[in-house]
Amino acid sequence: MNTTQFNTVVEDYADNLYRFVLGIVRIRAVAEDVVQESFSRVWENRRKVEPAKSKSYLFTIAYNLAISELRARNRRQSEDFSLTQLATQGSYNNLTEMIWQTLDTMSETQRSVIMLCDWEGYSYHEITQIMGLSLAQVKIYIHRTRNLLKERLQDEYRD
């Protein structure tokens, strides 16, 4: 990958990568750091990266860095604020908040898979490459996550 190709990768994927990482780490400054580090690692390994695979390579790096950051943060935190605690403090303000709160109850993997598929538009095959999961696992995660979101929406709007 040459400089021009790298610059194209940055222009094409920076916004999508940021949204993806922000959905995992949930803190803007941390997401920005993870995105920056991801692009730095792509640049450092540019001679090894095929331009056609740069997108998957970039998102794989970002995913791994974001998960590492979450694990480090979880080790540092002494208190756990669960969805149950948040729900008792008030009702959902809007649909987006309810969706995010539902996603927060899921595993990092489940949340990342559904974000890559439904928000970033990746194919199941691309998700398998980014996350290192089998195609069957990706399908199961997406199916279960969509069903859970559907149930929560139905419960919320029945009342």
Q: What is the pLDDT of residues 36-65, one digit of tens each?
A: 999 999 999 999 999 999 999 999 999 999
Domains of the chain: 1-78 (1.10.1740), 82-159 (1.10.10.10)
Q: What percent of the chain is predicted at pLDDT more than 70?
A: 85
Q: Which contacts (CB < 8 Å, 24+ apart) does range 131-135 have?
A: 131/60, 131/63, 132/60, 133/109
Q: Give the predicted TM-score (pTM) of the model.
A: 0.60
